Structure 1
């Protein structure tokens, strides 16, 4: 890492509060779910408490922006939720995960000998059974989409990128993102059943962070396209029927895409992707 006489543009004085609040809110929401699953604690939980925990990174961001000495909520909001970006990025953010899904459906059909049941496509036991494809998609985007991306790509990534390359920043975000998920491995069925597959999950998340960094920087640091990508990808990989073939195929395609992007982005000069002042 380069050394300089200039102070860090995003020191631990900002990083630590962001991480404490982001992790603390999420893990407190998930703690009763973990205790009930592992120890039959019988603690009361709210409907959708798993999804409530997704707002930790958003809460961490708001605390850093609004509290005394914060960076300014208005400027952040105008950038993070701006629609003034090339609309090709919105098409890409929806088209890429849908392309992953189409390939996954094809592989699922070849491997199992039958196509996935489209009537139950995207549904998960984490949500009420009356939810359909569209309502489930909306839930993913409004919870883990907005909740996570407001922090990871809306605040943390551009802040890190003021000091590091886009690739390095994306990898640092991936490490934090992985650690944030840890409690889910002791109560959420999608994570409990991973076994050795957790290695593939970690690799996929790492390269997914690269893909999302590419989309976010291309979208002039608006997180709207990455919210769309995140919501659709979660719909494809976190549904009950995706537990085997489909999630694996989608993850492999993200890894391949991320590897390609790291090669491309590594050849670009960082000044073309620097975020605006925060």
Structure 2
């Protein structure tokens, strides 16, 4: 019995192994020079925007894995992952949820600090050149970490795991891989360097964010377009320079609450075939 099962499982394991190898290899190759320059003054030449270039590791991993036996092939995978054949309500959900989080976070900012965020700097980050407005910043997040990450996490890894596990368990595994993938950033990126013990809350919110995104992706018939939208808006709200005070914490708490409410629903979702 085991000998009959192993040939069918092996292609899946091979794709997962290649996906992880390319994903981590690509991203960490981009990020480790930034770490060395920040921590050790290594003076390694880097490209403009190399931090954002590293976001395409999961995309590269997914594209490579789908070319192996048992994969869909690049064109079929692109048609599935970037399909518009899903109920349009998921675009509203994907955009509306982080905007609701943001509105609540703005009110919380006013309550805790006594003032509203500076709307001229709202959502902006020093990781991008001066002169970017909030719309341009959001577009950058969607075109880099939105497409780059979601192509791999929800476009490949989540459905691949969901063929053998519940959607909830699959989302938790994706979250664990996602957290590990970020590791080098904690030694060079300003948003991560200042976290301290806040990394615990970051890890919890990322875990339940994975649950929320799994729900959106499954509802969108495994198209990643809605989750790219969610990801880009959420990053704009939480990765901006002003977000570190209150907004990132409030948005993360709301994601955790939402993820907890979705746990049972994801646990009951039928496996993919």
Normalised by the shorter chain, which TM-score bucket?
over 0.9
Aligned to 2:171: 170
Aligned to 1:92: 93
* Deviation of the 1:65 alpha carbon: 2.1
Change (3 A) 1:4 1:219: farther
Aligned to 1:247: 248
Q: Please give the TM-score of this superposition, normalised by the length of structure 1.
A: 0.93
Q: Is the 8 A contact 1:58 1:151 kept in 2?
A: yes
Q: Is the 8 A contact 1:18 1:60 kept in 2?
A: yes
- C-alpha separation in 2, matches of 1:24 and 1:257: 33
Aligned to 2:270: 270
List runs of 5+ in structure 1 lacking aligned partners: none
Aligned to 2:52: 51
- C-alpha separation in 2, matches of 1:229 and 1:70: 27
Q: Is the 8 A contact 2:11 2:70 kept in 1?
A: no
Aligned to 1:220: 221
1:254-277 deviations in whole A, cap 9, x for unaligned? 0000000002333x3415xx3xx6
- C-alpha separation in 1, matches of 2:11 and 2:101: 35
- C-alpha separation in 1, matches of 2:10 and 2:68: 18
Q: Is the 8 A contact 1:215 1:225 kept in 2?
A: yes
Aligned to 1:210: 211
* Deviation of the 1:10 alpha carbon: 6.0
Q: Is the 8 A contact 1:64 1:71 kept in 2?
A: no
Aligned to 1:130: 131
* Deviation of the 1:78 alpha carbon: 1.0
Q: Is the 8 A contact 1:10 1:159 kept in 2?
A: no
* Deviation of the 1:253 alpha carbon: 0.3
- C-alpha separation in 1, matches of 2:133 and 2:125: 10
How many residue pairs get aligned? The number is: 270
1:11-40 deviations in whole A, cap 9, x for unaligned? 321111110100000000001110010011
- C-alpha separation in 1, matches of 2:70 and 2:221: 25
Q: CA RMSD in A?
A: 1.7
Change (3 A) 1:38 1:86: same
Q: Is the 8 A contact 1:140 1:234 kept in 2?
A: yes
- C-alpha separation in 2, matches of 1:57 and 1:261: 25
Matched, 1:105 2:98: no
1:146-186 deviations in whole A, cap 9, x for unaligned? 00000000011011111111000000100000000000000
Aligned to 2:117: 116
* Deviation of the 1:77 alpha carbon: 1.0
Q: Is the 8 A contact 2:15 2:68 kept in 1?
A: no
Change (3 A) 1:157 1:4: farther
- C-alpha separation in 1, matches of 2:79 and 2:211: 23
List runs of 5+ in structure 2 lacking aligned partners: none
* Deviation of the 1:73 alpha carbon: 1.3
Q: Please give the TM-score of this superposition, normalised by the length of structure 2.
A: 0.95
